[in-house]
């Protein structure tokens, strides 16, 4: 696996576990191009057993949330749909270690195990853009049930990590700074 071929991700391999850290997530979602490359690399490496994704709390660059003056919905949704399919098709476990606000839950909800730190807040920000999510209606009801999913998808209402766990959107809530360590425990199991 060539960990030097990414702009938004720093990839480290430890004992068969690939740890992909977002080095500076971009509100413009340019990092989505790299998800597909990462998943192709992980799938093709027979020595890798598990993928962990972390770095959600790293400083962001690009536009501030809600400042999508040049938002193009069709290319955005097309990239999102390809990323979701690729995550779901990966034949190796994916563990999400949420150490900061994911913005939108599309990528985190494709994980097999989702660990979140207590300080993390969640919402579906598509509503603020005046758009409905292309992927959330597919992913949320599987975890939360249809009525709860519709509430949050249609309102964009924000909620905390404990509520995310209660709703079934995350596997476990840990203290601040502990998501990656807990993800590694799961990966080693």
* Mean pLDDT within 117-129: 83
Least confident of 83-87, 89-93, 163-167: 83-87
Entry pTM: 0.86
* Mean pLDDT within 170-178: 97
**Strand order, beta sheet including 50-54:** 9-14, 17-22, 50-54, 94-98, 113-117, 172-174
Model confidence at 181: pLDDT above 60: yes
State the chain's mean pLDDT as an integer: 83
Say if residues 137 and 169 touch (Cβ distance below 8 Å). no
Q: Kindly state the DSSP code that residue 58 receives in the 8-state scheme.
A: S
Instruction: Tell me the helix, strand and coil percentages in the chain, rounded to 5.
Output: 40, 20, 40
Model confidence at 28: pLDDT above 80: no
Give the DSSP H/E element, type plus range, for residue 14.
strand 9-14
State how far the alpha carbon of 129 is from the alpha carbons of 103, 106, 142, 167, in Å. 13, 16, 24, 24
* Mean pLDDT within 165-184: 96
Rounded CA separation 165/160 (Å): 9
What percent of the chain is modeled with pLDDT above 70? 81
What percent of the chain is modeled with pLDDT above 90? 43
Give the DSSP H/E element, type plus range, for residue 17.
strand 17-22
* Mean pLDDT within 175-188: 97
The confidence score (pLDDT) of residue 80 equals: 66
């Amino acid at each position: 696996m060539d960990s030097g071929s990414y702009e938004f991700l720093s990839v480290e391999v430890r004992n068969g576990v690939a740890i992909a850290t977002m080095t500076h997530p971009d509100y413009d979602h340019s990092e989505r191009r790299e998800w597909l490359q990462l998943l192709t690399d992980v799938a093709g490496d027979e020595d890798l057993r598990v993928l962990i994704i972390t770095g959600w709390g790293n400083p962001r660059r690009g536009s501030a949330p809600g400042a999508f003056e040049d938002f193009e919905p069709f290319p955005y949704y097309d990239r999102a749909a390809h990323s979701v399919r690729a995550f779901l098709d990966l034949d190796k476990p994916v563990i999400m270690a949420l150490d900061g606000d994911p913005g939108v839950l599309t990528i985190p909800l494709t994980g097999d195990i989702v660990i979140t730190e207590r300080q993390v807040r969640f919402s579906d920000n598509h509503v603020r853009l005046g758009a409905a999510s292309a992927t959330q209606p597919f992913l949320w009801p599987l975890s939360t049930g249809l009525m709860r999913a519709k509430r949050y998808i249609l309102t964009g209402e924000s909620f905390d990590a404990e509520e995310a766990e209660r709703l079934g959107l995350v596997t476990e809530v840990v203290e601040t700074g502990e998501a990656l360590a807990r993800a590694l425990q799961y990966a080693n199991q």
